[in-house]
Amino acid sequence: MNKLFIAFLFIISSTIGISQNHLENKLLEVFSLEQTKLILEDKQQEKYYNNMVFNSYSIEEINPSKIKLQDFDVLSSLELKNIDGTITIVTPNELIESVNNGTFNILKLIIERDYHESKIYLLGNTNHLLKIKSFTTLSKLQKK
């Protein structure tokens, strides 16, 4: 029984460590090493950025018959800001692929985020929607 409990604790601590490393890697794509260290040392900031990176957006595939162009802003390309200040333009398909393979970083995406309302964008001529949670929703996540 003790071995099972110890194994369980090891798995939990490993998962937490991997999660923090993943967050750290995402932060380093946007911030300097010093800024990243400061964020990770402050539990509230770490929680905020964890929510921003992992819970502030989603990609949803929808039935093409449900797409009404007048209901969505259509994004034919997206801009990502690099750590050196340069901008990289990506297609909707490249964005979807980066989300699917885990390399997408919402912190790099230059896009409007509303304070009160979540925003939903149609990604080009794909059947995918990009949903960006509002700052109000992120604040609620921060309180949990």
pLDDT (tens digit, 0 to 9) for every residue of the chain, 144 residues total?
Answer: 544 434 343 444 334 444 568 999 999 999 999 999 999 999 999 999 999 999 999 999 988 877 776 678 899 999 999 999 999 999 999 999 999 999 999 999 999 889 999 999 999 999 999 999 999 998 888 887
How much is the pLDDT for 7?
Answer: 38
Residue 109 gets which letter from DSSP?
E
Sorted by sequence, the CB contacts under 8 Å of residue 31 that are 6+ apart come out as 39, 83
Phi, psi (rounded to 5 degrees) for 112: -75, 130
Q: Which domain holds residue 139?
A: 57-144
How much is the pLDDT for 1?
Answer: 52
Residues 81 and 143 in one domain: yes
Residues 88 and 24 in one domain: no
pTM surpassing 0.95?
no
Residues 62 and 103 in one domain: yes
Residues 46 and 70 in one domain: no
Residues 7 and 73 in one domain: no
Neighbours of 101 (CB within 10 A): 8
Domain boundary pick from 17, 33, 55: 55
How much is the pLDDT for 117?
Answer: 93
Amino acid at 58: S
DSSP characters over 23-80: HHHHHHTTS-HHHHHHHHHSHHHHHHHHHHHHHSEEEEE--GGG--GGGSEEESSEEE
